[in-house]
Amino acid sequence: MIAAPIANAFPKRASSLLVEQPLRGVCSEPVLVAQFSVADCTPSSYGCDGGRLWTAGGCRGLFRCTAASGVLLLGKDGAGANASRSCADRTLTMGELRKHYESYEQKSPREWAIAKAATLARQRRFDAARHWARLLARPNSDTLGHLKYWAGTPKIKDKNSARRSFSTCPNASFSGDMTDSGGYCADFWPTARPCNAFVVGVGNNFKFSRYATTRGCSVHAWDPTLELRARHQAGARMADRAAKQRDASLGVSFHFAGLHGAENGTSSRNSYGSIDAAHMLRLDEMVSLVGGHGGPLRVLTVDCEGCEWSAFEQLAAAKDSTALASVELLLVELHVSPTMVAPTLAQFVAFFDYILHTLGFKLWSLRSNDGYPRDQAVVDFLGGAAPPLSRSRPLLLRARLRERGGAAPRRQVKVARARLISN
């Protein structure tokens, strides 16, 4: 259940917090009116249980049990403290509300300022999450100015299919299949040589790796799945032999390692088997390990069942990271199912801010995919922040990004694939 706080969480006058006929005893859509705690009141730290309103994790403040009900004070001081009260309790009068505000301001102005800043920051994150989710859910709509993130005007493909596809690939040269980790657009493939391509998350599929070698790039494939290690080694050897028959300078190498961020952003298992947590690297470490063998990293595809959130969070936070400095084509599959490694609200927003704003990538394709039935749930903040994603048909969107104009001629295109699963 999502109950986004109002933007003006700390009004100077309390009269606006009263309703003429409050609903008593009903708790359906709780609303955080004002936060009085240093601990952040997130949507998971307050909610309804029958006709009662509860808080947890040290969340304390003023709440409404419904959008039309009166205001209640709820919560205990101290991290981890829980509280609960009936929505049938008497709501606060205007005078009592004013007293609570004045008492809190006088008692702890510093904590009040911290709590106010936290409320406003959380509201901004919710707004940003809605913005980015709608970009993916309505790829050919410019009602929110989303077309500025595209490399061109997106055209729908497979309109009557459960897996919709939008693309701006010129000359109708887009290709690929639903089992592969990426689609191919010859017009957007990097032309600078030498060229290295990283495939993070193989899933026993070397189609993209083989295609990359036909386009003049050597490939380094990474996957830490124990059950597939032998298959991945054999698959890489076969792809390597085929590449060297065409060009002796090219090759395909397999590395038994996975991707994570500042903290280990992977689970012990994924859709393909168990993960060897001892072989996890940051992207900068992968680039250093290869040491430029095969050329600069120009193509990167990431499909690691949720590890992408912590990995890109780490890249965004590392101001001196050069891991993506030469990347011209980026494919990222985004997972928002709680059965995988789902993003936090901050990670979801940070990814799009970093890729689309900081690095200046642009979308060139989106493609939907169902996903396994067990993975068709969606994290709570997307379910509430983006109604278009919570329809009954599962939705998976692949987003490919292109670099903004004005860059060097040889860095024309950047690509990403985004995967969103909802019920």
Residues 277 and 376 in one domain: yes
Residues 26 and 157 in one domain: no
Residues 213 and 304 in one domain: yes
Long-range contacts of 182-185 (CB under 8 A, 24+ apart): 182/208, 182/301, 182/331, 182/415, 182/417, 183/365, 183/367, 183/398, 183/400, 183/417, 184/211, 185/364, 185/365, 185/400, 185/415
Residues 82 and 185 in one domain: no
Evaluate whether residue 86 is within a structural domain.
yes
Q: Are 297 and 327 in contact (CB under 8 A)?
A: yes
d(CA 383, CA 390): 6
d(CA 268, CA 386): 30
- pLDDT tens string 57-76: 888 889 999 988 899 998 86
Give residue 344's Cα distance to chain centre. 8
Domain holding 64, by residue range, is: 15-107
Residues 57 and 173 in one domain: no
Q: Are 259 and 287 in contact (CB under 8 A)?
A: no
- Whether residue 167 is predicted with pLDDT greater than 90 in this model: the reply is no
Evaluate whether residue 418 is within a structural domain.
no
Residues 321 and 194 in one domain: yes
Residues 356 and 267 in one domain: yes
- Whether residue 253 is predicted with pLDDT greater than 50 in this model: the reply is yes
Averaged confidence pLDDT in the chain: 76
Mean pLDDT of the region 232-255:
96
Evaluate whether residue 189 is within a structural domain.
yes
More confidently predicted of 144 and 285:
285
Mean pLDDT of the region 164-178:
66
Residues 30 and 156 in one domain: no
More confidently predicted of 341 and 203:
203
- At 63 the pLDDT is 93
- Whether residue 219 is predicted with pLDDT greater than 90 in this model: the reply is yes
- Whether residue 266 is predicted with pLDDT greater than 60 in this model: the reply is no
Percent of the chain with pLDDT over 70: 72
Evaluate whether residue 272 is within a structural domain.
yes
The enclosing H or E element of 381 equals helix 380-385
- At 306 the pLDDT is 84
Number of domains in the chain: 2
Residues 137 and 170 in one domain: yes
- Whether residue 350 is predicted with pLDDT greater than 80 in this model: the reply is yes
- pLDDT tens string 184-194: 778 888 888 99
Residues 90 and 149 in one domain: no
Residues 322 and 287 in one domain: yes
Residues 180 and 86 in one domain: no
Evaluate whether residue 214 is within a structural domain.
yes
| Beta partners for residue 61, in sequence order | 35, 74
φ/ψ bin of 25: left (φ > 0), alpha (ψ from -120 to 50), beta (otherwise): left
